[in-house]
C-alpha cells in the first residue's frame, strides 16, 4: 500500500530519479507518509537510526564512501536541528546529502501546538539550498511543488557539490494509504548525478605559470581515485614539482609520502626559507596540518593557484589566489609548470631523509606507540575513519597509513559524529573490514552511534583512552590555564566496557605493548563488530611526541 499523500509519492519517486539508493530514517509520526512510501517502493536500502544527530553522520559516511547522494528523513520539531553538525561537515566536504524534514501544517506553527518549531531554513547556513514545500490541494499546487522539488534536487550535484534541505508539511491523517499511486501529469525528471565541471581550459594560456624555479603541489582531503592519482604523479614528475600530501589525500601509490609536520620540524631556519615555493598549487582543501599553513603564510611573494570549484574564492595562505575551474584530470595532464630539477631533487631527498629518521625512532608505550603498532598490524588495504584532534594528527606520522584509504571529518574538524560516520562507511563497504580509530572523548561523545539494532558486523573500533582530551597536552597554551584538567582536558575515569555491553558489542581492553598486540589480533579475527579500548599514560604521551619531533631536527 502506498501513502495517500501525493507529496510523499513525488518525493520518494524523485529520490530514485536523482540517484539516491540508500536512506537513513529516524523514528517519528509526522514523517510516516514518507516512511510508508519508502517501504512500499521496495527500491532503497533503508537504515533505521534513532538519534538524528547520529543519523546525519551515518548518511555522511555512506555518501562519502559511495560518492552517491544519500537522504536522511526525520520527523517534525527539534529533530531536524540535530542534522546541523553532519550537514555542516557535508557542506565543507562537498558531500551530496539530502535532509528531508517532515513538518506540521503552517497554521500550527507558533500556536503552542506539540512538536512544532520554525523548521523552514533551519539548515540554511550549512546547506547549498533549502526549499519549503507546501501541501498539495490542487493541480496548481502540484505543479509548484514539483518545480520547487526538482530545482532543489538539481542543485545537489551541481558544482560545488553539497547538501540540500527539503522541508515538507503533512496534515493528518498521516497513516492513510492507497493501493495504487496517483498518475502524475509530469514526466520523470532526468537528474544528473555526475559533477558538472565548468571547463575554462581554453582560457588557460600555455605560459600561464611563467618561469618558476620552485613550484610545490599541496593536495588536501579526497577519495581514492586511481586515474586521478596517476595524472597527479605524472604531472609531478613531468614538471619537477614535489608533492606534499596527508593520509586523507589517499594518494596511496605515492612513494614520497611524508608527514608534513615531521618534514617541517626537521628543517633548519635556512631550509625553511630555501624550500618556500614561488608557485603554490593546491588541489582539494581540508588540510590537517596547522604547521604547513603557518609556514606557507611566511612567504607573501608566492603565487597561489587553486584547482577546482569551491563555495568561494580561497585565500588560505595569505597570497593572491587564482582559482582555475577545471576538470582536475585535464589540468594535471595538460598544464605546464616547469619547476627547477634542483629544487625537486633537493626537496625529495629531504623527504626521504626524514622518512628514514622517523622509521628509526623508538618509543615506550604511549599514544604514539599505539598508532605505530596499528599501522604495522592492520591490513594494508584497510579503510579507516579517524577521529579528529589527536587521532588524525598521530596518523600522519606513520608511513604505512599512507598506503591505506583514510577518512576523517575535516570539513568542520569537530569531534562529534566520528563513530556514526564509521558506521555509515561500514554499511557502504559490507564485504571488507572498516576501522574506526578515535580518542576516548570522541567515542563517549558519539556513543549513540551504537544505539542501533543493525550495527554493521564489519566495523572494528579502536578507542585510545588517555582519560581526557589528549590533544590539549600536545598543542601550546591550554596546559597553562587554571584548572586545566577539569575544564579544558575534561579529565575522567570512564571506560567503554559497560557501553559495549549495553549494545552487545564484543569488547577487548589492553594496557601495554604485548597486551595491545594480543588484543588487536583478537579484534582482527572477529567476525562481528568489536571494540578494543587501549589505556595509555596521559602524562607520557605529549613528552613522547615532543621527543619524536626533536629527534628529526637539525
Q: Read off the pTM.
A: 0.90
Report CA torsion sign: 300, 301, 302, 305.
positive
pLDDT at position 319: 75
Of the candidates 516, 491, 495, the one whose C-alpha atom is nearest the C-alpha of residue 367 is: 516
Q: Is 389 left (phi over 0), alpha (psi -120 to 50) or beta?
A: left
Which contiguous run of DSSP H or E holds residue 36?
helix 32-41
User: How wide is the angle at C-alpha 54 spanned by C-alphas 48 and 56, nearest 5°?
Assistant: 85
Q: Which residues pair with 243 in a beta bridge?
A: 217
- Scanning 450-537, the segments in alpha helix (DSSP H) are 471-474, 484-487, 497-502, 513-524
Strands 2-3 vs 177-178: parallel, antiparallel or unpaired: antiparallel
Fold of the CATH domain 201-358: Rossmann fold (3.40.50)
Q: What is d(CA 335, CA 208) in angstroms, rounded to the nearest whole number?
A: 9
C-alpha to C-alpha distance for 431 and 133, rounded to whole angstroms: 39
Query: Among 438, 436, 439, 431, which Cα is nearest to 457's?
Result: 431
Residue 280 host element (H or E) = strand 279-283
Give the span between the Cα atoms of 53 and 86, in whole angstroms.
Answer: 7
Handedness of CA 328, 334, 340, 346 (dihedral sign): positive
Contacts of 445 (CB under 8 A, 6+ apart): 415, 416
CATH code that applies to domain 2-172? 3.40.50.970
Omega within 30 of 0 (cis) for the link into 160? yes
Cis peptide before 173 (omega within 30 of 0): yes
Q: Residue 483 has what pLDDT?
A: 61
C-alpha–C-alpha distance, residues 43 and 23, integer Å: 10
Beta strands in 143-246, from DSSP E residues, in sequence order: 164-169, 177-178, 215-219, 243-244
Q: What is the pLDDT of residue 197?
A: 38
What are the per-10-residue average pLDDT scores of the chain (554 residues)? Answer: 91 93 94 92 93 97 96 95 97 96 83 78 95 88 87 85 95 88 65 43 54 89 93 94 96 92 95 94 93 91 81 70 78 84 95 92 94 96 94 96 96 93 97 96 95 95 88 65 63 91 97 96 97 92 91 78
Cα(87)–Cα(60) distance, integer angstroms: 8
H/E run at residue 22: strand 22-25
**C-alpha closest to that of 159 among 328, 305, 318, 330:** 328
Task: Take residue 110 and report the three cell numbers written for it.
Answer: 507558533
DSSP string, 229-264: HHHHHHHHHHHT--EE--GGG--TT-TT---HHHHH
**Residues contacting residue 10 through CB under 8 Å, at least 6 positions apart:** 145, 146, 149, 184
Q: In angstroms, what CA-CA distances link 211 with 52, 214, 230, 340?
A: 53, 9, 25, 9
Question: What is the secondary structure of 406-455 as a DSSP string?
Answer: EEE-TTT--STTHHHHHHHHHHH-TTS-EEEEEEHHHHHHTGGGG--TT-
Classify domain 367-552 by CATH architecture. 3-Layer(aba) Sandwich (3.40)
CA 175, CA 33: separation in Å to the nearest integer? Answer: 6
Same fold? 2-172, 367-552: yes
Residue of 427, 432, 499 whose CA lies nearest to 463: 499
Domain boundary assignment for the chain: 2-172, 201-358, 367-552
Residue pair 28/76 in contact by the 8 Å Cβ criterion:
yes
Amino acid at each position: 500500500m502506498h501513502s495517500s499523500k501525493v507529496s510523499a509519492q513525488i518525493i520518494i519517486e524523485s529520490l530514485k530519479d536523482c540517484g539516491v539508493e540508500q536512506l537513513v530514517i529516524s523514528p517519528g509520526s509526522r514523517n510516516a507518509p514518507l516512511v510508508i512510501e519508502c517501504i512500499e517502493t521496495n527500491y532503497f536500502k533503508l537504515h533505521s537510526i534513532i538519534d538524528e544527530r547520529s543519523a546525519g553522520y551515518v548518511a555522511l559516511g555512506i555518501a562519502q564512501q559511495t560518492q552517491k547522494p544519500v537522504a536522511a528523513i526525520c520527523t517534525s520539531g527539534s529533530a531536524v536541528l540535530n542534522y546541523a553538525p553532519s550537514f555542516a561537515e557535508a557542506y565543507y566536504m562537498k558531500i551530496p546529502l539530502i535532509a528531508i524534514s517532515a513538518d506540521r501544517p503552517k497554521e500550527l506553527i507558533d500556536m503552542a501546538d506539540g512538536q512544532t518549531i520554525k523548521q523552514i531554513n533551519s539548515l540554511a547556513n550549512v546547506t547549498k539550498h533549502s526549499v519549503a514545500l507546501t501541501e498539495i490541494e490542487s493541480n496548481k499546487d502540484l505543479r509548484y511543488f514539483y518545480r520547487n522539488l526538482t530545482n532543489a534536487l538539481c542543485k545537489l550535484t551541481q558544482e560545488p557539490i553539497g547538501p540540500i534541505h527539503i522541508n515538507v508539511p503533512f496534515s493528518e491523517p498521516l497513516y492513510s494509504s492507497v493501493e495504487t499511486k496517483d498518475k502524475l501529469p509530469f514526466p520523470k525528471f532526468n537528474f544528473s548525478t555526475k559533477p558538472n565541471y565548468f571547463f575554462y581550459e581554453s582560457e588557460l594560456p600555455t605560459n600561464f605559470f611563467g618561469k618558476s624555479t620552485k613550484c610545490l603541489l599541496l593536495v588536501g582531503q579526497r577519495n581514492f581515485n586511481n586515474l586521478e592519482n596517476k595524472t597527479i604523479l605524472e604531472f609531478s614528475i613531468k614538471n619537477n614539482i614535489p608533492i606534499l600530501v596527508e593520509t586523507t589525500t589517499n594518494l596511496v601509490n605515492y612513494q614520497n609520502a611524508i608527514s608534513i609536520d615531521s618534514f617541517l620540524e626537521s628543517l633548519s631556519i635556512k631550509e625553511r626559507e630555501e624550500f618556500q615555493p614561488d608557485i603554490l598549487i593546491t588541489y582539494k582543501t581540508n588540510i590537517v596540518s596547522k604547521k604547513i599553513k603557518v609556514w606557507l603564510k611566511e612567504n607573501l611573494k608566492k603565487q597561489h593557484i587553486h584547482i577546482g570549484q569551491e563555495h568561494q574564492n580561497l585565500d588560505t595562505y595569505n597570497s593572491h589566489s587564482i582559482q582555475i575551474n577545471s576538470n582536475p584530470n585535464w589540468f594535471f595532464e595538460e598544464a605546464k609548470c616547469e619547476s627547477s630539477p634542483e629544487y625537486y631533487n633537493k626537496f625529495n631527498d629531504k623527504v626521504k631523509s626524514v622518512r628514514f629518521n622517523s622509521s628509526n625512532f623508538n618509543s615506550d608505550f604511549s599514544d604514539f606507540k599505539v598508532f605505530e603498532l596499528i599501522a604495522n598490524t592492520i591490513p594494508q588495504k584497510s579503510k579507516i575513519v579517524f577521529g579528529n584532534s589527536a587521532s588524525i594528527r598521530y596518523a600522519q606520522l606513520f608511513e604505512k597509513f599512507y598506503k591505506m584509504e583514510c577518512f576523517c571529518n575535516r570539513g568542520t574538524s569537530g569531534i562529534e559524529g566520528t563513530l556514526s560516520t564509521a558506521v555509515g562507511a561500514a554499511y557502504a563497504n559490507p564485504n571488507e573490514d572498516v576501522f574506526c580509530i578515535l580518542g576516548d572523548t570522541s567515542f563517549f561523545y558519539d556513543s549513540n552511534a551504537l544505539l542501533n539494532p543493525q550495527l554493521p558486523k564489519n566495523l572494528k573500533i579502536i578507542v585510545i583512552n588517555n582519560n581526557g582530551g589528549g590533544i590539549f597536552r600536545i598543542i601550546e597554551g591550554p596546559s597553562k590555564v587554571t584548572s586545566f584538567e577539569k575544564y579544558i582536558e575534561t579529565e575522567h575515569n570512564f571506560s567503554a566496557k559497560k557501553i559495549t555491553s549495553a549494545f552487545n558489542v564484543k569488547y577487548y581492553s589492553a594496557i601495554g605493548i604485548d597486551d595491545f598486540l594480543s588484543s588487536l589480533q583478537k579484534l582482527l579475527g572477529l567476525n562481528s563488530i568489536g571494540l578494543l579500548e587501549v589505556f595509555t599514560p596521559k602524562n607520557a604521551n605529549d613528552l613522547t611526541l615532543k621527543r619524536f619531533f626533536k629527534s628529526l631536527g637539525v
